C-alpha cells in the first residue's frame, strides 16, 4: 500500500513478480496464520450486517470465559490500500484479541473504486457505531477501542480524530478508550499515485484524508506500532503523528521495531509469527483489562 514516494524501479520489480505469484504467497501466509486461530476459547459469528451493502458485514469474536461480563470491545479494520482485503483473512487477529478476553469486531468496508473517500470512512463510522451499541447492550458499555493495520489503521485514527464521520453516519460520537495503529498512514501527502489522487480527491480535499491534520488535545490515547523496514508506509507516518499528539499532551505509546516490515506488525498477532515482536503484549498492556460484572 504505497503512500509515499516509490521509485520506478521498485514498481517494476514488484510488477515483474507476477500477480498470480503474489496472490499465491498471500493465500499461503493467511492460511498459515489462520489455521491455528480456528481453535480457541471464543465463539465467532460471521457476516453480521451493519448496513445494506454486501461489503457492510462484520465478524464478531466473543470469549467463552465469563460470558456476559463487561469487557473491552476492539474494532479492527484490515489493510489493503483502501482497495482490497477481507475480514476473513484476519481470523488470527480476532482470535488473538478474544483470547486476551476482549470482544473483537472485524468489519469489512467498501473499497475503491466502488467508493472514494468519504465512502469507506462512512463504513468505518457505521461499523464502530454498531460495536458501540453492542457494547452498551450486551456488555454494559464496555470500553471501546479502534484498531487497524495499514489502511485500516488510517480508518481507525482518522475516525477517532475527526469524529464528524459519526455524525454523518447518523449516530452520536461514542467514547473511544484508545486507538491501536499498526503500520498506519497518517501523514502521507503529497499524493503521487493516480489512484490515490482519485481516491482522496479533488486536491482541495486532500488535507481531509490526513489524520495528523486533526490531532487535538482531547484525542484518545494511542498505541502506534511500525516497522523500521516498512517500504510501503514509511515509519515517519507514525513518528509524525506521535509528535503531533504528544505536543498536545495526548498519551501515545510508540513502538518502532527495527527488523519488521509492513505486514510484520499485524502478522505478529498470529501464533506462527508471535516471536517476531511483542505486539500482542503491547496491546494487552494498552487495552484496559476486562472489568468484573
Q: In CATH, what number is assigned to the domain containing residue 163?
A: 3.40.50.1820
Angle of the 91-99 helix axis to the 19-34 helix axis, nearest 10: 20
pLDDT in tens, 265-282: 999 999 999 999 999 999
Mean pLDDT within 39-62: 94
Mean pLDDT within 52-60: 98
Give yes or no for a contact between 160 and 176, defined as CB atoms under 8 angstroms apart. yes
- Domain membership of residue 291 (yes or no) is no
pLDDT in tens, 195-209: 999 999 999 999 999
| pLDDT for position 179 | 98
| pLDDT for position 165 | 98
Mean pLDDT within 175-194: 98
| pLDDT for position 289 | 58
- Domain membership of residue 30 (yes or no) is yes
Q: What order of strands is seen across the sheet that includes strand 252-257?
A: 42-49, 57-63, 103-107, 73-77, 144-149, 176-182, 222-227, 252-257
Q: How distant is the alpha carbon of residue 198 from its chain centre?
A: 22
Write out the residue range of the structural domain in which residue 66 sits.
8-286
| pLDDT for position 71 | 81
pLDDT in tens, 113-134: 999 999 999 999 999 999 999 9
- Domain membership of residue 197 (yes or no) is yes
Q: Judge if pTM exceeds 0.85.
A: yes
- Domain membership of residue 154 (yes or no) is yes
Domain count, the chain: 1
| pLDDT for position 288 | 73
Question: Exposed e or buried b for every residue in 202-234, given b needs 16+ CB within 10 A?
Answer: eeeebeebbbbbbbeeebbbbbbbbbeebebbb
Query: What is 32-62 written as a DSSP string?
Result: HHHTGGGSSSEEEEEEEESSSSTT-EEEEEE
SS3 23: helix
Q: Average pLDDT of the chain? A: 88
- Domain membership of residue 87 (yes or no) is yes
CA distance from start to end of the chain: 42
- Domain membership of residue 3 (yes or no) is no
Whole-angstrom Cα distance, residue 180 to residue 157?
Answer: 8
pLDDT confidence tier of residue 105, bands split at 50, 70 and 90: very high
- Domain membership of residue 280 (yes or no) is yes
pLDDT in tens, 154-169: 999 999 999 999 999 9
Over 50: is that where the pLDDT of 64 sits?
yes
- Domain membership of residue 150 (yes or no) is yes
- Angle in degrees, CA 206, 266, 137, rounded to 5: 80
Report the helix count and the strand count for the chain, using DSSP H and E: 10, 8
Mean pLDDT within 24-49: 74
| pLDDT for position 37 | 65
| pLDDT for position 7 | 33
Pairing assessment for the beta strands 252-257 and 222-227 based on DSSP bridges: parallel
Amino acid at each position: 500500500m504505497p503512500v509515499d514516494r516509490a521509485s520506478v524501479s521498485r514498481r517494476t520489480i514488484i510488477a515483474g513478480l507476477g500477480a498470480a505469484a503474489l496472490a499465491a504467497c498471500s493465500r499461503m501466509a493467511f492460511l498459515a496464520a489462520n489455521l491455528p486461530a480456528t481453535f480457541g476459547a471464543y465463539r465467532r459469528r460471521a457476516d453480521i450486517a451493519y448496513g445494506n451493502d454486501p461489503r457492510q458485514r462484520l465478524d464478531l469474536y466473543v470469549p467463552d470465559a465469563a460470558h456476559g461480563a463487561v469487557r473491552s470491545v476492539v474494532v479492527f479494520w484490515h489493510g489493503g490500500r483502501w482497495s482490497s482485503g477481507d475480514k476473513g483473512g484476519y481470523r488470527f487477529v480476532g482470535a488473538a484479541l478474544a483470547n486476551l478476553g476482549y470482544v473483537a469486531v472485524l468489519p469489512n468496508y467498501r473499497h475503491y473504486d466502488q467508493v472514494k473517500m468519504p465512502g469507506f470512512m462512512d463504513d468505518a463510522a457505521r461499523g464502530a457505531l454498531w460495536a458501540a451499541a453492542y457494547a452498551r447492550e450486551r456488555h454494559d458499555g464496555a470500553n471501546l477501542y479502534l484498531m487497524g493495520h495499514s489502511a485500516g489503521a488510517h480508518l481507525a485514527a482518522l475516525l477517532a480524530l475527526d469524529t464528524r464521520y459519526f455524525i454523518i453516519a447518523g449516530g452520536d460520537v461514542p467514547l473511544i478508550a484508545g486507538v491501536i495503529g499498526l503500520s498506519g498512514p497518517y501523514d502521507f501527502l503529497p499524493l503521487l499515485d493516480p489512484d490515490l489522487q482519485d481516491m482522496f480527491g479533488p486536491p482541495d480535499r486532500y488535507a481531509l484524508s490526513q489524520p495528523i491534520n486533526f490531532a487535538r488535545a482531547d484525542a484518545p490515547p494511542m498505541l502506534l506500532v511500525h516497522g523500521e523496514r516498512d517500504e510501503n508506509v514509511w515509519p515517519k507516518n507514525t513518528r509524525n503523528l506521535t509528535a503531533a499528539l504528544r505536543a498536545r499532551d495526548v498519551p501515545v505509546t510508540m513502538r518502532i521495531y527495527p527488523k519488521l516490515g509492513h505486514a510484520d506488525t499485524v502478522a505478529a498477532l498470529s501464533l506462527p509469527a508471535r516471536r517476531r515482536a511483542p505486539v500482542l503484549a503491547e496491546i494487552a498492556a494498552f487495552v484496559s483489562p476486562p472489568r468484573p460484572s
